[in-house]
Amino acid sequence: MPELPEVETTRRGIAPHVEGQRVERVIVRERRLRWPIPEDLDVRLSGQRIEHVQRRAKYLLLQAESGTLIAHLGMSGSLRLVPSGQPALKHEHVDFELESGMSLRYTDPRRFGALLWSADPLAHELLRNLGPEPLTDAFDGERLFELSRGRSMAVKPFIMDNAVVVGVGNIYASEALFAAGIDPRRAAGAISRARYQRLAQEIKRILAHAIERGGTTLRDFVGGDGLPGYFQQELFVYGRGGEFCKVCGSTLREVRLGQRASVYCGRCQR
């Protein structure tokens, strides 16, 4: 699933080509996504100018003059620019034709993403209860420490909870916990303030670095420019169960936490 760096990479890729452009037509070839695409999306968006392309958690917000298109890439979705009129392939479900002669094309083989319309996106039920963005001052180790008190759940699913902080998915939670030296199985409430301060710093550092590297290419993710990300080459633990730790040489272990595979080093992480 595209995580926050992949979504931010997409935002940065499409924004210069979309912002300030008027939408001439919306072509919907497949309406059945996670939630059906609104029947009147073409009427609402056609003729509108896209003023800003923003991101909230893993949602892209294309702000037009009278409302906002909320886009989620789901498990396998992507948004990229193609010449208007370019024939669509099987899983290329929606085109937003722009006055520039280019189209913003939504592709989603598994159809688990979403394209919704809202007059007030931050009040939308999908966004209104989200926690702070991880790369802002609203997120820090003190927040993690305070919210974790009395919590017996493992620390990895705790930091993946979108009410705690948004956008720390499976890949980057695994990598941040390794960098901070914290065993992902440890109870969230048993971790000290100092260790949470280190963990928050590593979350910020790793997410920022992944964004600069273009995200992580896993299966079929590509950025808004059609190019893959390159952070995958730098993964220390994610997807490397049974391999050697790059730091100490011991064999990495794999367990399941919160129904997700979790790889960690029994020597480096305590």
Q: Tell me if 185 sits within 8 A of 201, measured CB to CB.
A: no
Query: How far apart, in whole angstroms, are the C-alpha atoms of residue 224 and residue 104?
Result: 9
- The radius of gyration computed from the CA coordinates of the chain, to the nearest angstrom, equals 20
Would you state the structure tokens that stand for residue 176, as one six-digit string? 């941040």
Catalytic residues: 2-3, 58, 260
93 is in an annotated binding site: no
Helix, strand, coil share of the chain (percent; to 5): 25, 25, 50
Show Cβ contacts of residue 199 under 8 Å, excluding neighbours closer than 6 positions: 141, 144, 159, 176, 177, 180, 182, 191
44 is in an annotated binding site: no
Could you give the maximum distance between any two Cα atoms of the chain, in Å?
59
Would you state the structure tokens that stand for residue 46, as one six-digit string? 């056609």
Amino acid at 236: F
Query: How far apart, in whole angstroms, are the C-alpha atoms of residue 262 and residue 184?
Result: 8
Q: What is the DSSP string of 75-129?
A: TT-EEEEEETTPPP-TTEEEEEEETTSEEEEEE-TT---EEEEESSGGGSTTTTT
56 is in an annotated binding site: no
Output the known binding site for DNA: 91, 110, 151
